[in-house]
Amino acid sequence: MAALSRLTDPHAGDWVNERLLGHDLPGIPVGSVVPTGFSRVVRVFHPAGAQTWAQIAAANDRKMHPLAQWCGICPDFDGTSRNGDDDPEEGSMPPDVQAAVFDHLPGEDLVFAVWVGWGSWTDLELPEVVMPGWGGRDYALFTGPKGVVTTWPGMQETFPQSASLVWPQDHAWCLATDIDWDSTLVAAGDAVAEGLLADDRLETFEVAYFDDLSWPGDGVNPAPPWLPRPF
């Protein structure tokens, strides 16, 4: 694990919050989760066990596309339970995906923001040392070298958990893994985006800031009967 230190300045992530879209837009736009202002945003899909989303979609006669949702391509998904061997990880980017993504991201000294709700913390004094974020979520902040990280100093739970947000000191890019999503967004410049899209280790699509990544946002595939469509 990379050597990490706690970052106790809750304003270190102000730049992220200042560049997020407002909450009054329909659905959950890409730009409400990852900061705007970058030329490109790439969506990185978390693999479904040993399979890609495209393979699952094809097996179920569904279509893979940039705004695909798991409930739209996997009819067996009931909206609640997930099987770690068959369903994509939700809220955490798998280590092998992290490693492949970081290969394309410049900078060595990073900030990692971890949602405090993932567990209890031995040394977390709320609210002084946490970054407030989208949707009323608070994040513990760490600094350290670029690398795969799944455990965090002071977090008592032992299950592997990736950061919710990651960015370099110069703010040249930002990575966001929303706690409720089974994909990760990377907002960056053209070179990073092209590298991610061309990497055959990753399943990726380019998305736009106003694209809706809520479950009903998959307007291509049939909605499951338990999912109401927005009016």
pLDDT in tens, 103-155: 999 999 999 999 999 988 887 665 556 887 766 789 999 999 999 999 998 88
The model's confidence at residue 93, banded by pLDDT at 50, 70 and 90, is very high
What integer pLDDT is reported at residue 134 of this predicted model? 65
Contact in structure between 179 and 162 (CB atoms under 8 Å)? no
Taken as a whole, the chain contains a residue count of 231
More confident residue, 217 or 81: 217
- pTM across the whole model: 0.94
Going from N- to C-terminal start, the domains of the chain cover: 5-217
pLDDT tens across 26-72, in order?
889 999 999 999 999 999 999 998 999 999 999 999 999 999 999 99
Is residue 230's pLDDT more than 60? Answer: no
Own/partner long-range contacts of 50-57 (Cβ < 8 Å, ≥24 apart): 52/203, 53/88, 53/203, 54/203, 57/221
What integer pLDDT is reported at residue 231 of this predicted model? 43
pLDDT tens across 194-207, in order?
999 999 999 999 99
Q: What is the overall mean pLDDT for the chain?
A: 91
Structure token digits, residue 24: 């009054």
